[in-house]
Amino acid sequence: MTGSMAAQPLSLERLRTACSTCGLKELCLPVGLSGQEMDRLDDLIHVRRTAKKGQSIYRAGEPFDALYAVRSGFFKSSILSEDGRDQVTGFYMGGELLGMDGIGTEQHTCDAVALEDSEVCVIPFGRLEDLSRQVPALQSHFHKVMSREIVRDHGVMMLLGSMRAEERLAAFLVNLSQRFVARGYSPSEFYLRMTREEIGSYLGLKLETVSRVFSKFQDEGLISVQQKHVRIIDIPRLKHLVGHRPC
Amino acid sequence: MTGSMAAQPLSLERLRTACSTCGLKELCLPVGLSGQEMDRLDDLIHVRRTAKKGQSIYRAGEPFDALYAVRSGFFKSSILSEDGRDQVTGFYMGGELLGMDGIGTEQHTCDAVALEDSEVCVIPFGRLEDLSRQVPALQSHFHKVMSREIVRDHGVMMLLGSMRAEERLAAFLVNLSQRFVARGYSPSEFYLRMTREEIGSYLGLKLETVSRVFSKFQDEGLISVQQKHVRIIDIPRLKHLVGHRPC
DNA sequence: CGACCTTTTGAACGTATTCAACCGATGTGG
DNA sequence: CCACATCGGTTGAATACGTTCAAAAGGTCG
């Protein structure tokens, strides 16, 4: 143990927080940055926040001043309508960015709630804009991230607007599966962090319908499911369900 | 008539295309720019494209290299699923930006089709990124525009995920009305540029349902509608329909 | 262990869809 | 210029899908 390490406790914390040593850097904001550029990004990301299950990172109406990168855990974002119905607009896992809805009005327009004990990196937005003016690769990648959020939303619109219940749930499971693979987890076996009600809200279905479709998929040998534990048995057939009428 | 004007026919064309003289500049990309900054934006926007009714500005799969600002006319964007169903993901009118879905993959992910003879300003995206690195006000506003597109999409998700047919159409009409007002048109009387089928696709309903709800609203004295001509009689009551269960 | 939350499953119901016929508007070619 | 074909819109009746209401079982957490 060297004296220098003991004398600089902050550098340990620094290392712990740094993008350059983060396992998620291939999926997150630093994608495409050189080592030097990543160091500059590190300079603005040195605050992390934790949220226990059920707590929120931000709520609709709060002033916006930062984006949040999911470091660990799982989040949902949702909006509440006047009469109390709420709509889950997305689920977010490691490496994904929360809060881009707030840029336009400088107020958050939805709630970001942890579905399990989680941690996020705080990215002060003003400083991110400053840096992305100096680092084209960062600017470019940030634009791509926002654009992909739009494309993702279009996918959900397609799902909600023109798919039947079974297609919706199949699309949801396939999407989750792909995101887990990208993070080094099994594509075919995972724990759902969200309730049937939250899945239903996201998919425009009631929780009973979600439960029924899960049971149906299980009866048909597509998946095996008990509570939050899902194992996908036949991914190709599940994929085929998406975008194909029952015939 | 001075000699200089006759000698520089291009400057006339230039003037015609310039953001600084465009009636839509308060709604479009130049929002918040100083005169000088706007001139620099003008430097990159000097190509316009026209699309006759039914023609597209871009199609899914084509390489992305520009955004398009609607100068006149009306567009829809839509995605086609594997089995041929298509989903309208948005309608775009004067001052609104098309094509942001293409940034993420450098390919367009949907079709942008003119619903009437229309004109767009071509905004080369690489040059827009260059300029927005030099002009913070432009950078900031562009980020806001993208963010608002995300928020708009969330609104549609809410609509598709948790509203009944009547709420959806009411929300759609109120939204159109507001966008017409912002452009100096009547909030209560307008022509729909899209068919019942396109409205239905956007709202996740069949065209027959859209037609029925139009008729119901008319019977209830909320609106008067014949074909594409709509007059909103009771905007407050229409607004109240949105976000409130039938009770 | 007990209270509460989540999930499952059944039966009745309701909303939007499907299928079908008809009408009106628009546009094209003889 | 009109006849006819086509497209878009309206309306009705039967159907289907997902919802609602209800009950009970299975988990979870203090």
Query: Would you kindly state where each structural domain of chain B is located, as residue ranges?
Result: 6-135, 163-242
**How many Å apart are CA A93 and CA A97, to the nearest integer?**
9
pLDDT of residue A53: 95
HSE-CB of B129 using CA atoms within 13 angstroms = 19
Q: Is A201 on the interface with B (CB under 8 A)?
A: yes
Q: What CATH class is the domain A6-135?
A: mainly beta
Q: Is the CB of A208 under 7 A from strand D?
A: yes
CB contact under 8 A, B146 and A144: no
pLDDT digits (tens, 9 = 90+) for A3-14: 444 444 555 555
**How many Å apart are CA A111 and CA A113, to the nearest integer?**
6
The strand pair at B118-124 and A56-58 is best described as: unpaired
**A123/chain B closest Cα distance in angstroms:** 15
CB contact under 8 A, B151 and A83: no
pLDDT digits (tens, 9 = 90+) for B3-24: 444 444 555 555 667 898 899 9
pLDDT digits (tens, 9 = 90+) for B141-194: 999 999 999 999 999 999 999 999 999 999 999 999 999 999 999 999 999 999
Q: For residue A164, which residues of chain B lie inside 8 Å, CB to CB?
A: none
CB contact under 8 A, B132 and A147: no
Beta bridge partners of A79: A87
Long-range CB pairs of A25-30 (<8 Å, 24+ gap) are: A26/A95, A27/A94, A27/A95, A27/A96, A27/A182, A27/A183, A28/A69, A28/A95, A28/A96, A28/A97, A29/A69, A29/A97, A29/A123, A29/A138, A29/A141, A29/A142, A29/A145
Q: CATH for A163-242? A: 1.10.10.10
CB of B203 closer than 8 Å to CB of B188: no
For the CA of A113 and the C1' of C22, the distance in angstroms is 53
pTM of the complete model? 0.93
pLDDT digits (tens, 9 = 90+) for A65-113: 999 999 999 999 999 988 888 999 999 999 999 999 999 999 999 999 9
Angstrom distances, CA of residue B37 to CA of A84, B31, B70, B83, B134: 44, 11, 21, 47, 10
A109 closest CB neighbour out of B145, B154, B157 = B154
Contact residues for A144 (Cβ-Cβ < 8 A; gap 6+): B103, B104
Q: Is A6 on the interface with B (CB under 8 A)?
A: no
**B4/chain A closest Cα distance in angstroms:** 39
CB contact under 8 A, A151 and B101: yes
